[in-house]
Amino acid sequence: MSGFSCQRLSKTFFAHNAVVPALESIDFRVEARSFVCIVGPSGCGKSTLLRLIAGLLPPTSGCVCFDREASQDKPRTALVFQEHGLFPWMTVLDNVAFALVGQRQGRREGRRLAQAQLERVGLAGFAHSYPHQLSGGMRQRVGVARALLANPDILLMDEPFGSVDAQTRLVLQEELLNLWREQQKTVVYVTHDIAEAILLGDRVLVMSGRPGRILADIAVPLARPRMLTAVDSPEIKDIKWRIWNMLESEVRANLGTSSAPFS
Amino acid sequence: MAGWLLVWEMAATRRWISPLFFPAPTTILRTLLAYSASGKLVADLAATLGRLLMGLMLGGSMGMLLGLLMGGSPRLRRLVDPLVAAMHPIPKISLLPLVLIIFGLGESSRVVLVAVASFFPTVINTMTGVQQIPPIYYEVAANYQASPLTVFRRIIIPGSLPMILAGWRIALNTALVITIAVELITAREGLGAAIWLAWQTLRTEHFYAALLVIAVLGLGSNGLLHLLSAWLIPWQRQDHST
């Protein structure tokens, strides 16, 4: 198992002669086996931060330091993508088995493991369907199943349930918490939903608008396993409002209004 | 359809229209049967089909190959794309004299011109097909440490396949036009040559018989390609969308 820390991590994009600072001096640590949520206004660089941790983008300065060296036979991180992470031309089974393309198993063994993984998440009956034949919620479960099959130490999730309806999301969140408890992964979960961040995370990191900085690092004092009703306690409501107060001005800046129009 | 044929038949036999221009359907059918019985139909069809397929395969596969390379390499694209864009709008039949000078009056000239005509739709469609693959799929591949060969085989090829096949469909139809046109001008055998001979001897029923065979050839080859597409890209069947 491995935790990691981001140290003075910055990312600047250069596009069409414009310099766009996306992340500025990000500093935080994630302990092994903890569940950390990151909230922030849209466009604040949350997704960029995940891609830096996943090693899909190089940082402009600073570093992501992992506690342990990467091993040969399994990846350190796996990213669950927002929406279109599944290949439309592959069946569900092949999509899940794709998690093992970089590893030593043959294709046949990969498929066998993928089938077993699908059975574990209750999607065995859809192994030979194509993604477009599934509902949005099922597609996200396939995305999670794929990431878990790669057996990474650290699971990175980029608003994975952002596009599914509210009821389905509650079920998926519960499934995710169960998986996390059983498999003892470190999870970094990006969302724009404050309630979701509090319900899932041990800690919530609040990010500012562009360029993204860490505004606050808030511990969530809720026992596990968590009940949905626990979120209604006054203590938790207080945390929710604290986070909202931090984000409100950032969101208004995005909308182009400087103060509340109705106050 | 049957009603229209009946009207045509009546109009021709009662000479409301000139049977020289529009011979009766039964006359055309009789001509077609005789054409077939003489063995000439099979010979013409074989000649046309041979040119069509040879040219299409040659030009189409070269276009597909270059399209894949251009789609994958921005540098190559910047170098070659202006050339392709400049030559694409030229009606390919107008290149026939040049091709005849270079390749001579024989069979190879005809195949080369069909190949040139098939090349452009496939190169352009394949290149576009590769370019429009959403970048997120490459991120997924990098996320799971896929090798470049895996990325090519399992992302670039299937991701661009719908566009590649659309390119082949355009190439097929262009190739058919060019094959017939080249035969009208230069060939002794082939369906285009049969049409030209019919004109020169003023036997319009022969013209219609050959035209019918060409129409069936076009419909049949498009139908086959349609089946091939459905088989190669099963994920695009829209029958169980949610």
- Domain positions in chain B: 49-187
Opening angle at CA A41, ends A36 and A42, nearest 5: 105
Q: Which residues in chain B touch residue A158, judged by CB atoms under 8 angstroms apart?
A: none
Q: CATH assignment of B49-187? A: 1.10.3720.10
- Per the structure, how many domains does chain A have? 2
Of the candidates A152, A172, A203, which is a domain's last residue?
A152
Instruction: For helices B157-186 and B191-200, give the axis angle rounded to 10 degrees.
Output: 30
Q: Are residues A164 and A147 in the same domain?
A: no
Strand order in the sheet with A214-219: A77-80, A154-158, A186-191, A35-39, A203-207, A214-219
Burial class (CB in 10 A: 0-12, 13-18, 19+), B17: middle
Of the candidates A114, A137, A152, which is a domain's last residue?
A152
Q: Say which CATH number the domain at A10 has.
A: 3.40.50.300
Mutate to test the interface with B, among A13, A79, A90, A98 (most CBs of B within 10 A): A98
Backbone angles phi, psi at A130, to 5 degrees: -95, 155
Asked if residue A213 is part of any domain, the answer here is yes
| ipTM rounded to 2 decimals | 0.84
B231 touches A at CB < 8 Å: no
Q: Are residues A235 and A250 in the same domain?
A: yes
pLDDT at B242: 35
pLDDT at B12: 86
Q: Which residues in chain B touch residue A134, judged by CB atoms under 8 angstroms apart?
A: 242
**Which residue, A40, A51, A121, is CA-closest to A79?**
A51
A132 touches B at CB < 8 Å: yes
B155 touches A at CB < 8 Å: yes
**Which residue, A201, A202, A197, is CA-closest to A246?**
A197
Asked if residue A247 is part of any domain, the answer here is yes
Tell if the CB–CB gap between B158 and A87 is shorter than 8 Å: yes
Q: For residue range A186-216, what is the model confidence (pLDDT) as tens digits?
A: 999 999 889 889 989 999 999 988 888 898 8
- pLDDT average, residue stretch A8-26: 88
Q: Are residues A164 and A48 in the same domain?
A: yes
Mode of pairing for the β-strands spanning A77-80 and A154-158 = parallel
Which chain B residue's Cα is nearest to A94? B154
Of B141, B147, B241, the CB nearest to A132: B241
Which chain A residue's Cα is nearest to B147? A102
pLDDT at A72: 58
Q: What is the residue range of A197's domain? A: 4-68+153-255
Average per-residue pLDDT for chain B: 91
Q: Which residues in chain A touch residue B233, judged by CB atoms under 8 angstroms apart?
A: 89
Of the candidates A104, A122, A152, which is a domain's last residue?
A152
Q: Which residues in chain B touch residue A100, judged by CB atoms under 8 angstroms apart?
A: 144
Q: Are residues A217 and A162 in the same domain?
A: yes
Instruction: Give the pLDDT band of residue A103 (cuts 50, 70, 90).
Output: confident
pLDDT at residue A18 greater than cutoff 70: yes
